Structure 1
Amino acid sequence: MCRLSNNLTGLFNLLTLLLSIPILITSIWLTKQSSTQCETWLQKPIIILSIFLIILSLCGFIGSCCGATWLLWLYLFVMYLLIVITFAFTVFVFVVTNKGAGEVVSNRGYKEYRLGDYSNWLQKRVNENETWERIRSCIQSGKLCEKFQTQFGNDTVQQFYQENLSALQSGCCKPSNDCNFTYHSPTVWNKTEGVVHSNPDCNVWDNDPNVLCFNCQSCKAGLLQNLKTDWKKVSIINIIFLIFLVIVYSIGCCAFRNNRARGWK
């Protein structure tokens, strides 16, 4: 195994390098083509990750195949940090996404979402004004509620109540069920004058297509529900990735010992 370790480490890093280059080029091209700041913001992490993988792959490839032991040592050190960070992030995701779920409402096909049901850390993030302004801009630029209105615009009130809405649709594009507003269309609801609502979202709701419930706590909760679902999927991928990293790291350690045994520096 140790005799093959240098070749295996070199091959793995060559493949990673060949995959990272087109990803980097595509990400840069998409950033140039982006029509909104939101799209550009989403592309930046991919660009940074691609550059990181290219540099790391070069260190591993040169270190294992060209006898540059110091580069292989640097590669293994970064790999070790990556393993620790991936493990810590996976644990963190499980902790912060443990709380929170949609609330089933009687005679409704959709669920309602409450911000207070989610972890304090997630609540704090979406309650930061600058962060929420950016997120809200992304949701609006994606025309979430325009598509929502088009999709369910012909529904009667009873038909609408039986629809299986997404967390964002339920939280951002319609008022809370607590408000008891009169249905006119999926994004137009008539308020009852003089009624005091216990749910503050009822006072925030506006039929203006640019306002709706984008400033509601339920909209933030809908986003967190989406985030929770996505992060749970990421956690499973992270566990597989972590196992893969440990295997590659072990092979790299073998290659490092080979280099030292051959007297390479």
Structure 2
Amino acid sequence: MAVSNSITAILNFIIFLSSIPVIAAGIWLASKPDNECIQLLRWPVVVLGGLLLIGSLVGFIGAYCNRPGLLAVYLFFMAVLIILLLIVLIIAFTATRHNGGSHPVAGTRFQEYRLDGYSSWLRHHVTSSGSWPSVRTCLAVSDVCRKLNREFSSTEQYFATDISPLQSGCCKPPAACGYKYENPTTWENPENPRADPDCLLWSNERSKLCYDCDGCKAGLLENLRQEWRKANGVLVVAVVVLIFVYLVACAAYKNAQIQNISVRYKHGWI
């Protein structure tokens, strides 16, 4: 077996092993409450991890057994996979390149968020009038806000804890509205509520809370931004490794073709 074939086989075996944590990371990402409610963003990492696993197996077998046909299939498969990864990377970077619309809340460890701090593409695909009703319904039946009541038993404990952006935006009224805390999802109405639409949208009813608030939409976008920024690092490494392996595999394919022609010539088949 030629040196390039050996290297390709070894690299693809490593990629096969590496695809397992990629799939695991994708499942973790898909299980997050925000991604559970946005089908478009839920499964791409899992799907790409699965394709990576299949492609690495084909490449390993083709290189190890010196099969030009399998290597040709593998090269085409990997080219498509690299293109898909680049597309996902471009979308992810475009959607997460903004620094977010966060601002601190005095007297607490958590922050609140504004919609104008996020990319217009992400706002359109997640918080538009056509998309939000289904996302809102999903969030309302999730455990995002309910678990706050289980986690915090006192006012001091609640305000001293850094809750998630999604919980900050959806599970409580904006701090500027002047609502008085009773428990994480129950707040006493102020005597003179502000005219901010989010202040008027808050409800102590468990199915409503602040799920219709712009602050809830912004908190969801911040959760997505943070999670996908972590995923971006994995995707960048995957693209660099795949391009390197692809170049080595091209050399292995060329060697396999040359060896195949030599064998046929030796036996008088050509």
Given the alignment of the two structures, is residue 205 of structure 1 paired with residue 202 of structure 2, yes or no?
Answer: yes
Pair 46,246 (structure 1): closer, same or farther in 2 beyond 3 Å? closer
CA distance in 1, matches of 2:181, 2:50: 51
Describe the superposition over 1:157-196 as per-residue Cα deviations: whole angstroms up to 9, x where unpaired.
Answer: xx64444222112111100112212222221112246x46
Given the alignment of the two structures, is residue 117 of structure 1 paired with residue 117 of structure 2, yes or no?
Answer: yes
**8 Å CA contact retained: 2:55, 2:74:** yes
The correspondence for 1:181, drawn from 166, 179, 186, is 179
Pair 65,108 (structure 1): closer, same or farther in 2 beyond 3 Å? closer
Given the alignment of the two structures, is residue 254 of structure 1 paired with residue 251 of structure 2, yes or no?
Answer: yes
Q: Which moved more, 1:215-224 or 1:67-76?
A: 67-76
Length-normalised TM-score, structure 2: 0.76
CA distance in 1, matches of 2:205, 2:140: 13
Structure 2 counterparts to residues 77-92 of structure 1, below 5 A: 77-92=76-91
**8 Å CA contact retained: 1:3, 1:258:** yes
Structure 2 counterparts to residues 96-135 of structure 1, below 5 A: 96-99=95-98, 100-129=100-129, 131-135=131-135
Pair 46,163 (structure 1): closer, same or farther in 2 beyond 3 Å? closer
**8 Å CA contact retained: 2:148, 2:184:** yes
Matched letter for residue 163 of structure 2 = L
1:106 CA drift (Å): 3.2
- Number of the residue aligned with 2:32: none
Pair 238,51 (structure 1): closer, same or farther in 2 beyond 3 Å? closer
1:239 CA drift (Å): 1.9
1:217 CA drift (Å): 1.4
Q: CA RMSD in A?
A: 3.5
- Number of the residue aligned with 1:30: none
Q: Which moved more, 1:6-15 or 1:219-228?
A: 6-15
1:203 CA drift (Å): 1.8
1:208 CA drift (Å): 0.9
Structure 2 counterparts to residues 102-251 of structure 1, below 5 A: 102-129=102-129, 131-155=131-155, 160-192=158-190, 195=192, 197-251=194-248
CA distance in 1, matches of 2:17, 2:109: 47
Matched letter for residue 152 of structure 1 = F
- Number of the residue aligned with 1:52: 51
Describe the superposition over 1:37-94 as per-residue Cα deviations: whole angstroms up to 9, x where unpaired.
Answer: x59x798657744653454234323432334323312311232233333234334323
CA distance in 2, matches of 1:44, 1:184: 38
1:222 CA drift (Å): 0.8
Pair 155,192 (structure 1): closer, same or farther in 2 beyond 3 Å? closer
**8 Å CA contact retained: 1:153, 1:186:** no
Give the SS at the match of 2:145: helix
* Structure 1 unaligned residues grouped into runs of 5+: 28-37
**8 Å CA contact retained: 2:19, 2:52:** yes
1:259 CA drift (Å): 1.0
Pair 67,127 (structure 1): closer, same or farther in 2 beyond 3 Å? same
Matched letter for residue 97 of structure 1 = T
- Number of the residue aligned with 1:31: none
Pair 241,17 (structure 1): closer, same or farther in 2 beyond 3 Å? closer
1:11 CA drift (Å): 3.9
Matched letter for residue 183 of structure 1 = Y
**8 Å CA contact retained: 1:10, 1:60:** yes
Pair 95,71 (structure 1): closer, same or farther in 2 beyond 3 Å? same
Number of equivalent positions: 249
**8 Å CA contact retained: 2:52, 2:81:** no
Describe the superposition over 1:137-169 as per-residue Cα deviations: whole angstroms up to 9, x where unpaired.
Answer: 54444412121122224215xx64444222112
Pair 57,110 (structure 1): closer, same or farther in 2 beyond 3 Å? closer
